[in-house]
Chain A
Amino acid sequence: MWRLNKVRHKAAGRHGDSLEELKLKRREHERALRQARRDRQLVSKRLLLNEDEDQPEVTMDTNSGEQDVVSLFHKLQQTGSEREARLKALSKALRDPSAQLAFIKQENSMHLLVGFLTGSDATCRLQAVRCLHELSHSPHTNVAPACLPATPYLLTYLSGQSTKFTELCLYTLGNLCPESDVVKEKLLAQGIIPALANCIENQRHNLAVVEAVGFTLSQLLQAKDAAEKIIPMVLASSLPSHLLSVLTPDPDFGLAPAIECAWCLHYLTCSTEDNRVLLAHGALLKCSSLLVSLGAAVAEGNKEEGMELLICPLLRCVGNLLSSCPVEDLSTQVGDVHIVVALCALLQAYLQTQPALARESAWVLNNLTAYSSALCSALLTFNLVPGLIQLLPFSQGINTMILRALANIAHKKKEFCVQLAHLGLLSALCATLKMADQEMVILSMDVLFMLVVSGPQVAEEFVRQGGLSLLEAIQYNSKGDIRRRATHLLEHHLLSYSVVKTYLLNL
Chain B
Amino acid sequence: MQQPESVRPLITERHHPTGDTHERRPRETEEGNPFTFSPQLIHLHKDHELFEDGDITRHMYLQDLYISEADDKPTLSVSEFACHISGCSAVFSTLEEYEHHYNSLHRHVCCSCRRSLPSARLLDIHIQEWHDSLFAILAQRQDMYQCLVEGCGQKFRTSKLRKDHLIRLHKYPPDFRFDKTKKDRGTRETKRQQQKDTAMEVADDVCESEGVCEVMCDVLSNQLEHGESMETHVSQEEARMAKSDSTEEHADLSAAAHGAGNTSTESTKPRYSYRVPTSVCFGHGSVRGFRGRRGRRK
Interfacial residues, chain A to chain B (CB-CB below 8 A): 2, 4, 7-10, 23, 26-27, 29-30, 33-34, 37, 40, 42, 44-47, 56, 215, 222, 224-225, 227-228, 259, 263, 267, 270-271, 273, 305-306, 308-309, 312-313, 316, 319-320, 322-324, 326-328, 351-357, 359-360, 363, 366-367, 369-373, 393-397, 399, 404, 407-408, 411-414, 431-432, 434-437, 440-441, 443, 445-447, 449-450, 453, 468-469, 472-485, 487-488, 492, 495, 500
Contact = CB atoms under 8 A, between A and B. Distances in A.
B141 interface: no
A316 B281 contact: no
B51 interface: yes
B172 interface: no
B150 interface: no
Contacts of A450: 25, 35, 37
B43 A273 contact: yes
Contacts of B70: 353-354
B82 A411 contact: no
A477 B55 contact: no
Interface residues of B, number: 90
B37 to A, nearest CB: 4
A129 B197 CA distance: 70
Contacts of A404: 39-40
Interface centre among B45, B59, B278 (most CB of A within 10 A): B59
A481 B34 contact: yes
A354 B20 CA distance: 36
Interface centre among A222, A259, A478, A479 (most CB of B within 10 A): A478
A436 B271 CA distance: 18
Contact of A359 (B47, B50, B282, B283): B50
Given A434-B95, A440-B79, A475-B198, A487 B294 contact: yes
B274 interface: yes
A289 B78 CA distance: 32
B227 interface: no
A369 B39 contact: yes
B210 to A, nearest CB: 26
A397 B50 contact: yes
A423 to B, nearest CB: 19
B76 interface: yes
A356 B84 contact: no
B54 to A, nearest CB: 4
A8 B62 CA distance: 13
Interface stretch (B11-19, B184-192, B211-219, B251-259): B11-19
Contact of B23 (A47, A371, A413): A413
B140 interface: no
Interface string B45-81: 1110011111111111111111110111110111111
B36 interface: yes
Nearest 3 pairs between A and B by C-beta? A356-B53, A480-B196, A436-B82
B274 A476 contact: yes
B68 A363 contact: no
Given A393-B78, A395-B80, A475-B275, 13 more contacts: A8-B67, A30-B65, A33-B59, A37-B55, A56-B64, A319-B42, A327-B20, A411-B25, A434-B82, A476-B289, A478-B270, A488-B32, A488-B33
A198 B281 CA distance: 77
B81 A434 contact: yes
Contacts of A360: 50-51, 54
A312 B57 contact: yes
B232 to A, nearest CB: 17
B53 A492 contact: no
Given A44-B62, A263-B58, A363 B196 contact: no
Contact of B281 (A351, A472, A478, A492): A472
A9 B62 CA distance: 14
Given A271-B45, A309-B57, A26 B65 contact: yes
Given A4-B68, A408-B39, A478-B85, A483 B2 contact: no
A141 to B, nearest CB: 17
B73 A270 contact: no
A180 B100 CA distance: 60
Nearest to A215: B62
5 contacts: A29-B65, A37-B56, A370-B41, A412-B22, A478-B86
A4 B98 contact: no
Interface centre among B25, B37, B55, B277 (most CB of A within 10 A): B37
A436 B91 contact: yes
A479 B84 contact: yes
B43 to A, nearest CB: 4
Contacts of A271: 45-46
A323 B82 CA distance: 34
B250 interface: no
B209 interface: no
Given A44-B62, A481-B34, A488-B34, A320 B44 contact: yes
B56 A33 contact: yes
Contacts of B60: 26, 29-30, 33
A323 B79 contact: no
B110 to A, nearest CB: 13
Interface centre among B23, B51, B80, B84 (most CB of A within 10 A): B84
A270 B16 CA distance: 20
A316 B85 contact: no
Contacts of B222: none
A323 B74 CA distance: 30
Nearest to A5: B68
A356 B77 CA distance: 11
Interface string B141-159: 0000000000000000000
B268 interface: no
B78 A309 contact: no
A483 B38 CA distance: 20
Contacts of B12: 273, 323
B87 interface: yes
Given A228-B2, A474-B84, A447 B37 contact: yes
B46 A435 contact: no
Contacts of A431: 81, 95
A327 B64 CA distance: 41
Given A37-B55, A227-B2, A394 B42 contact: no
Contacts of A474: 84
B90 to A, nearest CB: 10
Contacts of B281: 472
Given A7-B64, A434-B95, A473 B106 contact: yes
B29 to A, nearest CB: 12
Contacts of A472: 275-276, 278, 281-282
Contact of B34 (A40, A316, A485): A485
Nearest to A9: B67
A55 to B, nearest CB: 8
B244 interface: no
A491 to B, nearest CB: 9
Given A27-B71, A324-B43, A367-B41, A393 B56 contact: no
A407 B37 contact: yes
Contacts of B294: 487
Contact of A395 (B20, B33, B42, B78): B78
B178 interface: no
Contacts of A411: 24-25, 37-39
